[in-house]
Structure 1
């Protein structure tokens, strides 16, 4: 299927692994010019080597999205190299502080919200002027099943992802008339470095290996994931690629769940 986005410019955050990396691969295959960003230069270099070493359609830029100056510099570099981004996929994020509510400090909350919510605010703010000027734009913000189905031991993350859903809906109402469509994608338990770390910690606590930790987590914590496995990053990236395409020209303000049925409501 031709997605109609050849030669568009996409900026993908959290691009050195997982969903961001898989999305970059699919968009490159569609002829998109991709600006790939994450915090660590060495991890970005490895991602570029894996994706398309030497390609003139791929630009890695290391940036700390909690720093407004770094965000501004990121977009300046993108514009100077490829032009203003037409597509923004914001997949950067962290699990953040975990534990029961009464054990979490203000700093725990502030750090998680800064990375998982305010970073999205910063990159969208930087992306909007170019999209509005050109009259065409696609923004996809990565939320989570946790945004509508919170878990007691990771409430800062859950609250941030609920806020991402609200931000998505509000943005979709504000800028559709300018040609900018905004949607969210909510994955659940995908094979990423973040869930690898979660499962390794679970395995250590229980004296098992990662595979057994995953199986017990699915049984005990995610019983409605009917496929009984972690999702693959490319399964999420396929939905993102559709949403940033011309094929999704009437999709705005939506939340697409890619969760194997994990969210228990309709």
Structure 2
């Protein structure tokens, strides 16, 4: 399917792995210029860029820039660089985030909460604030923020993450009401238990705790911690990326303010 976005420019945060890199591959195959960004310009981001470059078609160009989304000056520098190199971003897929502090609610400190909020909620605020003006100047925009099943079906040991992701759903809806008349559309996605470095780390930790293989840890986690995943498996990053790519396209021109669940049926309620 031709997504009708050839020649546009996309910024992807959290681009050195997982959802970010897979979405970048989809977009460059459609002829979209992609700026990949992550916290550090290290080996992972450089390798990600090489992988994405192999998928470039229709004249697509790529660039990699480091930016820590918890620091406003770095986000502003990122936006300035994108504007100088590509005249601005038409598309933003903000996938950077972290699980943050987890555990018993009464044991979590203010510092635990604030560290999670600075990344998972304020990171999205900073990115939106920096790139909406570029979309206004370009007269066209798509911004997709990453929420989570946790926003709709929270898990008791992840209260800061739950709250931040619920905030992302609300933020996306708020922005969709504010800027859609300027042809800028905002949506968010709520993935559940996808094969990403974050869930890999969780499974490695669980495997060590239970003295089992990581594969066995995954199966235990699905059966005991995510029993509502009807498909009984982890999702694949490309299964999420294909949905994101569609939301970036001209074909999604009447989807605005939505939260798209990509969760294998993980959210138990029909109306979550």
- Tell me the CA shift for residue 134 of structure 1: 2.2
1:133-161, Cα deviation, whole Å (9 max, x unpaired): 22210000000000011101010000000
For this pair of structures, how many residues does the alignment match? 266
Structure 1 match to 2:35: 35
Distance 1:151 1:182 in 2: 26
Decide which of 55, 74, 77 is 2:78's aligned counterpart.
Answer: 74
Distance 1:194 1:165 in 2: 20
1:64-84, Cα deviation, whole Å (9 max, x unpaired): 111111111111111111111
2:201 is aligned with 1:197: yes
Which 10-residue stretch deviates more, 51-60 or 31-40?
A: 51-60
2:109 is aligned with 1:105: yes
2:17 is aligned with 1:17: yes
1:23-55, Cα deviation, whole Å (9 max, x unpaired): 001001110000100012122111112221697
Alignment of 1:1-266 (within 5 A): 1-42=1-42, 43-52=44-53, 57-266=61-270
Per the alignment, in what secondary structure is the counterpart of residue 37 of structure 1? strand
TM value normalised by structure 2: 0.96
Check whether the contact 2:121–2:167 (CA below 8 A) recurs between aligned residues: yes
Distance 1:122 1:53 in 2: 31
1:83-140, Cα deviation, whole Å (9 max, x unpaired): 1100010000000001010000000000000000001000100111111122210000
Per the alignment, in what secondary structure is the counterpart of residue 121 of structure 2? helix
In structure 2, do the counterparts of structure 1 residues 31 and 50 end up closer, same or farther at CA, with 3 Å as the change threshold? Answer: same
Check whether the contact 2:89–2:135 (CA below 8 A) recurs between aligned residues: yes
- Structure 1 residue ranges (4+ consecutive) displaced by more than 2 angstroms after TM superposition: 53-56
Gap regions ≥5 residues in structure 1: none
Gap regions ≥5 residues in structure 2: none
Distance 2:218 2:178 in 1: 41
CA RMSD between the two structures: 1.2
Check whether the contact 2:88–2:138 (CA below 8 A) recurs between aligned residues: no
- Tell me the CA shift for residue 227 of structure 1: 1.2
